């Protein structure tokens, strides 16, 4: 069965998402057990794929062939749809598995039944399936389809609470941006198909010559993916979406956004890594990254809605990842490798710290019914655990040693400095500003005299926060161990793995 | 004349973008995105057209037929149409909900989430 792990990791949550709604009509206990089974199975499959990809190299799974390893037909032309998992895809699968499991643990006690619990659960699984598909697929059109699955599931998840006025507004904005981005990706898929008669990423990567049309396709792909990632100037949807989505969903939404960063890496280094490996693309991405960091941090300063404040913090972290990707694409080796290590390690750190902060925001909203910093205060008296978790997540977000955010940000600063000292100085400045912002938020919400009664979060939610807090501390204390085991294979897959990727799919 | 479908599809995409930039009504924004979608779908399906080709159904091909159009772009277009249906439906549903809450569809007046 393990040989079928890549497709099972996508198919099981996809089927589970729909069967769950049927089961919910029968019995809620049955629904909860079913959701737990599905997520346990899915994450086990994601981990199994990751272990195989880390130990044996690129995993190829062919759909519709007599055996899953027959990826090419006679003549060396890949006509079937393939799933290809290299070190990077496996790493993203692990992030998605972590986000999905933690979100589910948090989920059961966070939403009440009348708040659309079954619906949210189903959409969460659908989004999960979309993310896993996005990072595992080796086919460009499938990539578009999974992109749209994540878009639709994410927007439905943001806006399904139609009895409130703000979530549908955020969802409409997000949907417009996602759809537009998806259509840009589709045009570029069309251009590449028209030029080379193929949709297989490995085959296209070999065939691409770097013509004017290829440059156009690269531009459209990057534009669409940057919209999906929420880079400035297309960042307007991101704080709305993160701020208004149910707290349990935001960690999966963050993983979804990181899947867009994954896609940018895949496009720049694998698909166009042969013919169009110009450093100019790297500078473009890096400058967009630093703009995103600065704009997001400055916007975070003026927020009084706790959720939106954390959301701007999340957008700024995405900027750091883009900066790292850009610097990596400028150098492609040397300090570029350091940058990519930092950027890819930062993905899992960001998922943990931003996820933890959103979980605390959700607990605060559940306990007090408000997230307005002007009306909150003194919550530390009653919500002791939440206060501790918020402080931990906030310090990790701002990159304070010895937490995990410091480990990855330090690598980003170091490599960016060697590419351009000004960019590094700006990134460092933004980080200090972010620290001021989150400390102010902590002080505003949790310190001071007790102003209102608040009931502490139930145990299930605290367990979910505890798992993320553990990730933050352990990754911060032993960064070398994790970089060597899970980050380094991903970096190698990006930088030097293109040949192995092509060879695994096309043979020889 | 062979490039006419591509020109028309790009004109459709431009019209759609123009709609997005100039209109403020949420329904019209959804229509704009739909028009872009139609343009892209036309682009995809015309990629696979072969002059004088017949529908790519092997068993129904008439005996004298020489060329078939490419089937892959048609499959892509069908998928893209279905996805487009889902996104449009979701956007319109959100527009309806927003109208119920605010009593307006003007994007400039719906600005609860700003800054």
Distance, CA of B110 to CA of B99 (rounded, Å): 10
Kindly indicate the confidence band of residue B114, based on its pLDDT and cuts at 50, 70 and 90.
Answer: low
Write the CB contacts of A67 (distance below 8 Å, at least 6 apart in sequence): none
Distance, CA of A319 to CA of A329 (rounded, Å): 15
* Residue range A410-439: mean pLDDT, rounded: 92
Give per-residue pLDDT as tens, B21-54.
999 899 999 999 999 999 999 999 988 888 878 8
Mean pLDDT, all residues of chain A:
90
Mean pLDDT, all residues of chain B:
88
pLDDT above 70 coverage of chain B, percent: 96
pLDDT for res A72: 77
* Residue range A412-441: mean pLDDT, rounded: 92
Burial class (CB in 10 A: 0-12, 13-18, 19+), A485: exposed
Kindly indicate the confidence band of residue A434, based on its pLDDT and cuts at 50, 70 and 90.
Answer: very high
Distance of CA B30 to the CA centre of its chain: 11
B110 interface with A at CB cutoff 8 Å: yes
ipTM value, please give it: 0.94
Q: What is the DSSP string of A129-183?
A: HHHHHHHHB-BHHHHHHHHHHHHHHHHHHHH--TTSSHHHHHHHHHHHHHHHHHH
Give per-residue pLDDT as tens, B86-108.
999 999 999 999 999 988 888 88
Partner-chain residue, chosen from B79, B86, B95, that has the shortest CB–CB distance to A172: B95
Kindly indicate the confidence band of residue A400, based on its pLDDT and cuts at 50, 70 and 90.
Answer: confident
* Between residues A64 and A153, the one the model is more confident about: A153
Q: Which of residues 23-82 of B touch A (CB under 8 A)?
A: 26, 29, 33, 36-37, 40, 43-44, 47, 72-73, 76, 79-80
Partner-chain residue, chosen from A172, A193, A303, that has the shortest CB–CB distance to B47: A193
Question: Which of A105-109, A330-334, A396-400, B81-85 tops mean pLDDT?
Answer: B81-85
Kindly indicate the confidence band of residue A369, based on its pLDDT and cuts at 50, 70 and 90.
Answer: confident
Kindly indicate the confidence band of residue A433, based on its pLDDT and cuts at 50, 70 and 90.
Answer: very high
Distance of CA A488 to the CA centre of its chain: 18
pLDDT for res A314: 92
Measured CA distances, A14 to A49, A130, A483 (Å): 18, 8, 31
* Residue range A59-83: mean pLDDT, rounded: 80
Burial class (CB in 10 A: 0-12, 13-18, 19+), B64: exposed
Which among A11, A15, A122 is positioned nearest to A63, based on CA atoms?
A11
Distance, CA of A152 to CA of A130 (rounded, Å): 10
Contacting residues of A for B98, CB less than 8 Å apart:
165, 168-169, 172
pLDDT for res A331: 84
pLDDT above 90 coverage of chain A, percent: 58
Give per-residue pLDDT as tens, A202-221.
999 988 888 899 999 999 99
Distance, CA of A424 to CA of A426 (rounded, Å): 5
pLDDT for res B115: 57
pLDDT for res B85: 94
* Residue range A185-193: mean pLDDT, rounded: 94
Distance, CA of B112 to CA of B102 (rounded, Å): 10
A181 interface with B at CB cutoff 8 Å: no
* Between residues B62 and A292, the one the model is more confident about: A292
Partner-chain residue, chosen from B37, B112, B115, that has the shortest CB–CB distance to A183: B37
* Residue range A420-433: mean pLDDT, rounded: 92
Does the pTM surpass 0.90? The reply is yes
pLDDT for res A371: 83
pLDDT for res A402: 84
User: Which DSSP state fits A84?
Assistant: E
Distance, CA of B55 to CA of B42 (rounded, Å): 16
* Residue range A417-441: mean pLDDT, rounded: 91
Say which CATH architecture domain B4-53+64-112 belongs to. Answer: Orthogonal Bundle (1.10)
pLDDT for res A384: 87
Contacting residues of B for A180, CB less than 8 Å apart:
20, 33, 36
Residue A78 has pLDDT above 90, yes or no: no
Give per-residue pLDDT as tens, A373-388.
888 878 888 888 999 9
Q: Distance (Å) from the C-alpha of residue B63 to the closest C-alpha of chain A?
A: 27
Residue A38 has pLDDT above 90, yes or no: yes
Contacting residues of A for B91, CB less than 8 Å apart:
172, 175-176, 179
Question: Which of A11-15, A236-240, A330-334 tops mean pLDDT?
Answer: A11-15
pLDDT above 70 coverage of chain A, percent: 99
pLDDT for res B1: 61
Residue A29 has pLDDT above 80, yes or no: yes
Residue A156 has pLDDT above 90, yes or no: yes
Contact B112 A193 (CB under 8 A): no
pLDDT for res A508: 58
Contact B112 A166 (CB under 8 A): yes
Give per-residue pLDDT as tens, A158-179.
998 888 888 999 999 999 999 9
Q: What is the DSSP string of A98-119?
A: HHHHHHHHHHHHHS-GGGTHHH
Contact A190 B86 (CB under 8 A): no
Q: List A83's β-bridge partners, or say none.
A: A61, A137
Residue with token string 């072969």:
B50
Which among A372, A354, A269 is positioned nearest to A313, based on CA atoms?
A354
pLDDT for res A507: 78
pLDDT for res A179: 94
Residue A370 has pLDDT above 90, yes or no: no
Residue B62 has pLDDT above 80, yes or no: no
Hey, where are the domains in chain B? 4-53+64-112
């Amino acid at each position: 069965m393990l040989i079928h792990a890549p497709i099972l990791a996508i198919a099981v949550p996809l089927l589970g998402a729909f069967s769950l709604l049927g089961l919910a009509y029968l019995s809620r206990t049955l629904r909860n057990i079913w959701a737990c089974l599905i997520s346990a199975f899915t994450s086990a499959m994601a981990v199994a794929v990751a272990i195989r990809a880390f130990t044996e190299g690129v995993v190829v799974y062919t759909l519709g062939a007599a055996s899953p390893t027959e990826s090419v037909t006679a003549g060396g032309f890949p006509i079937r749809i393939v799933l290809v998992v290299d070190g990077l895809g496996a790493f993203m699968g692990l992030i998605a598995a972590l986000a999905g499991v933690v979100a589910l643990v948090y989920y059961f006690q966070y939403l009440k039944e009348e708040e659309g619990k079954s619906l949210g659960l189903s959409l969460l699984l659908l989004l999960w399936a979309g993310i896993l598909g996005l990072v595992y697929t080796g086919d460009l059109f499938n990539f578009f389809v999974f992109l749209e699955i994540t878009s639709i599931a994410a927007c439905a998840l943001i806006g399904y609470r139609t009895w409130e006025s703000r979530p549908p507004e955020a969802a409409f904005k997000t949907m417009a941006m996602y759809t537009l981005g998806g259509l840009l990706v589709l045009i570029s898929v069309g251009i590449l198909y028209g030029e080379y008669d193929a949709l297989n990423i490995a085959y296209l990567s070999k065939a691409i010559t770097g013509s004017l049309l290829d440059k156009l396709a690269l531009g459209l792909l990057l534009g669409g993916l940057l919209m999906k990632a929420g880079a400035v100037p297309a960042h307007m949807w991101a704080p709305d979406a993160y701020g208004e989505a149910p707290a349990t969903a935001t960690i999966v939404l963050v993983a979804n956004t990181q899947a867009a960063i994954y896609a940018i890496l895949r496009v720049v280094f694998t698909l166009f890594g042969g013919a169009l490996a110009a450093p100019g693309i790297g500078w473009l991405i890096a400058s967009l990254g630093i703009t995103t960091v600065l704009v997001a941090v400055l916007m975070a300063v003026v927020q009084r809605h706790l959720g939106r404040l954390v959301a701007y913090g999340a957008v700024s972290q995405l900027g750091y990842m883009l900066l790292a990707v850009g610097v990596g694409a400028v150098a492609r080796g040397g300090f570029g490798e350091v940058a990519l290590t930092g950027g890819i390690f930062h993905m899992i750190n960001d998922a943990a710290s931003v996820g933890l902060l959103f979980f605390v925001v959700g607990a605060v909203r559940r306990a007090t019914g408000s997230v307005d910093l002007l009306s909150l205060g003194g919550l530390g008296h009653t919500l002791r655990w939440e206060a501790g978790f918020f402080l931990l997540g906030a310090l990790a977000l701002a990159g304070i040693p010895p937490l995990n955010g410091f480990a990855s940000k330090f690598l980003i600063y170091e490599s960016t400095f060697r590419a351009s000292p000004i960019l590094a100085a700006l990134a460092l400045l933004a980080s200090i500003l972010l620290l001021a912002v989150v400390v102010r938020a902590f002080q505003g919400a949790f310190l001071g005299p007790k102003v209102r009664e608040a009931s502490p979060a139930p145990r299930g939610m605290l367990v979910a926060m505890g798992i993320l807090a553990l990730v933050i501390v352990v990754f911060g204390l032993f960064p070398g161990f994790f970089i060597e085991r899970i980050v380094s294979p991903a970096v190698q897959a990006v930088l030097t793995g293109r040949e192995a990727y092509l060879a695994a799919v096309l043979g020889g | 004349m062979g490039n006419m479908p591509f020109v028309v599809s790009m004109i459709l995409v431009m019209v759609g973008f123009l709609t997005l930039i100039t209109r403020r009504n949420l329904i019209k924004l959804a229509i704009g995105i739909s028009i872009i979608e139609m343009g892209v779908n036309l682009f995809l399906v015309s990629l696979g057209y072969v002059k004088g080709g017949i529908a790519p159904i092997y068993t129904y091909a008439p005996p004298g037929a020489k060329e078939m159009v490419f089937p892959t772009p048609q499959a892509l277009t069908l998928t893209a149409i279905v996805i487009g249906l889902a996104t449009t439906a979701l956007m319109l549903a959100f527009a309806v909900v927003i109208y119920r809450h605010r009593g307006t569809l003007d994007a400039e007046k719906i600005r609860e989430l700003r800054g």
